């Protein structure tokens, strides 16, 4: 082979080698770029997953705190309801211990309140224990335009009266239990205020 052919072959071989090396370098650079891009995407994905996990953990934490606060609130409401019920029960038991004179005045006042609501013509009902006392109070109040008649004395109550209009259409329950029931919202508020001060 001649020197010119060898030189040509070497030149072609060198150019080919250069092109192959350039292609390899370009492929290597592209591969490295892809690897770097994949690393960045993976790192971003990890950050997003961690952030999402943190948000989910925070959300779960808020839910758990909210559920715990709700439980505490329900327990407080139950305790308050028990306190109110206990106060009512004690109040009803205490009625039997009220001195007779004071009890008579209370019954007379309850009848007067009923007359203000029902009107001057009414029937007054009570429990069997208070029949004589209610009859006497109704007799004292039946003056002028007020005409009270004694109704049944078989009410299941600790005390107080129920007044019914002459035509029977209007009924006013002024028993101690009914009065306590009407006071319950105010008493609940008072108990809640007392409980909140203790915290």
Q: Could you tell me the two tokens for 161? A: 């009266």
What gap in Å lies between CA 135 and CA 193, rounded to an integer?
A: 41
Answer with the one of 49, 79, 97 that is the final residue of a domain: 97
Express as a percent the part of the chain with pLDDT over 70. 97
According to the model, what pLDDT value does residue 112 have? Answer: 92
Say yes or no to pLDDT of 136 above 80: yes
Domain count along the chain:
2
Beta bridge partners of 40: none
pLDDT digits (tens, 9 = 90+) for 25-64: 887 888 788 888 888 888 888 888 888 888 888 888 888 8
CB atoms within 10 A of CB 29: 10
Q: pLDDT at residue 96 above 90?
A: no
Give percent of the chain above pLDDT 90: 12
Same structural domain, 23 and 53: yes
Do 84 and 103 lie in one domain? The reply is: no
Residue range 10-20, pLDDT digits in tens: 777 777 777 77
Question: Pick from 113, 105, 169, 168: which is nearest to 133 by CA?
Answer: 105
What is the residue range of 138's domain?
Answer: 99-189
CATH code of the domain containing 114: 3.30.2320.30
Q: Is 188 exposed, middle or buried (0-12, 13-18, 19+ CB in 10 A)?
A: middle
DSSP SS3 for 123? strand
* Same structural domain, 88 and 154: no
Task: Confirm whether pTM is higher than 0.85.
Answer: no
């Amino acid at each position: 082979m001649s020197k010119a052919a060898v030189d040509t072959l070497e030149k072609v071989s060198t150019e080919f080698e250069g092109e192959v090396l350039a292609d390899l370098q370009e492929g290597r650079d592209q591969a490295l770029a892809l690897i770097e891009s994949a690393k960045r995407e993976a790192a971003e994905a990890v950050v997003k997953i961690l952030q999402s996990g943190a948000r989910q953990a925070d959300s779960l934490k808020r839910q758990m705190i909210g559920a715990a606060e709700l439980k505490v609130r329900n327990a407080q409401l139950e305790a308050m309801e028990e306190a109110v019920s206990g106060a009512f029960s004690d109040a009803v038991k205490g009625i039997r211990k009220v001195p007779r004179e004071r009890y008579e005045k209370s019954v007379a006042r309850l009848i007067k309140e009923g007359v203000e609501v029902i009107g001057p013509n009414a029937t007054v009902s009570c429990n069997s224990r208070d029949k004589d006392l209610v009859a006497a109070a109704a007799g004292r109040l039946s003056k002028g335009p007020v005409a009270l008649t004694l109704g049944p004395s078989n009410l299941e109550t600790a005390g107080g009266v129920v007044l019914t209009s002459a035509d029977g259409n209007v009924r006013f329950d002024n028993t101690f239990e009914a009065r306590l029931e009407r006071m319950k919202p105010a008493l609940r508020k008072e108990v809640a205020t007392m409980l909140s001060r203790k915290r």
